[in-house]
Amino acid sequence: MGTEHFSGKVAVIGGAGLMGHGIVLQALLGGATEVAMMARHRSSLEHGLELVAGGPFGLRSARSSQTMTEAEITTLLHRIVITTDYAEAVAGAEVIVESVPEEIAVKQAVFAEIEKHCPADALIASNTSSIMIGELAARAASPHRFIGTHWFYPAQVMKLVEVAAGERTSAATLKRTLGLLAAWGKVAVVVADRPGFFMTRFINLFVEEAIRLVQDGVTTARDIDTMTKLGLGWPLGLFELIDSTGSF
């Protein structure tokens, strides 16, 4: 897989969630011929489809509608397969991205199911923001193909992806991941496999100080949002980001 184009199948496990549906969008816009969106419940999948099509950063949003026709949007939506079944989701997938809650046991259980059904050469990436990849892949049958890709909200808009390779992640897997992200127009920054990597630890300092500033009466949460957007160029204000992602 080079940087010229990607036209295979992508599976996003947890793809109906806030981060997951953005990765689904990125895969669609990046040229995937099929994108499997998997979640445990059908209702979640239906909500995820609504976000992909008409959410704040969806295909029909103001950002996209200026460059895409309704026919083009319909074509992309037809490339999505929704499923609650692991075997169906990962069958034939070249790239599998896990985007489930930040709990080690939950993620390891998901990885076990993925490995039962996915092709032997599938790339398996975790959208973890804080858990070491070596720890997540500790029980994997093929830890060499596991890697961390920490996406940022909204995933299809933000160009940065933080990449972490575990001790047993192969050089080929890292190279393949960087090639895919480049093909999708992302800027990948490789960091060491440590708890929280770089960005989560860094942003937590912003959050802690912002909360203190509000508590001390220096300014308001709304004004901090304005300042982080206009002064730092963030697409969302600091507290808007917290409200949207439910993190920190």
Tens digit of pLDDT for each residue in 6-60? 889 999 999 999 999 999 999 999 999 999 999 999 999 999 999 999 998 899 9
- The percentage of the chain sitting over the pLDDT mark of 70, rounded to a whole number, equals 94
Residue 65 pLDDT exceeds 90: no
- Residue 96: is its pLDDT beyond 80? yes
Summarize pLDDT for 172-194 with one digit per residue, the tens. Answer: 999 999 999 999 999 999 999 99
Name the pLDDT band for 4 (thresholds 50, 70, 90).
very low
Mean pLDDT of 79-86: 98
What pLDDT, on a 0 to 100 scale, did the predictor assign at position 8?
94
Angstrom distance (rounded) from CA 213 to CA 79: 47
Indicate whether 1 pLDDT > 50.
no
Alpha-carbon distance 203 to 75, whole Å?
A: 38
pLDDT value at position 112?
Answer: 97
User: Rounded to whole angstroms, what are the CA distances from 46 to 20, 58, 80, 83, 90?
Assistant: 13, 14, 12, 10, 19
pLDDT for residue 247 is more than 80: no
> What residues does CATH 3.40.50.720 cover in the chain?
9-191
pLDDT at 248: 45
pLDDT at 62 over 60: no
Helix H or strand E encompassing 193: none
Q: What is the pLDDT of residues 143-160, one digit of tens each?
A: 999 999 999 988 998 999
Compute CA 244 distance to the chain's CA centroid, rounded to the nearest angstrom: 15
What distances in angstroms separate CA 35 from CA 8, 48, 52, 121, 195, one per listed residue?
9, 13, 12, 17, 30
Q: What's the pLDDT band for 134 if we cut at 50, 70, 90? A: very high
Of 82-96, 130-144, 176-190, 233-247, which gets the smallest average pLDDT? 233-247
Determine whether 74 is exposed, middle or buried from the number of CB atoms within 10 Å of its CB (0-12, 13-18, 19+).
exposed
Tens digits of residue pLDDT in 106-133? 999 999 999 999 999 999 999 999 999 9
Give tens-digit pLDDT for 196-235: 999 999 999 999 999 999 999 999 999 999 999 999 988 8
Assign domain 9-191 to its CATH superfamily: NAD(P)-binding Rossmann-like Domain (3.40.50.720)
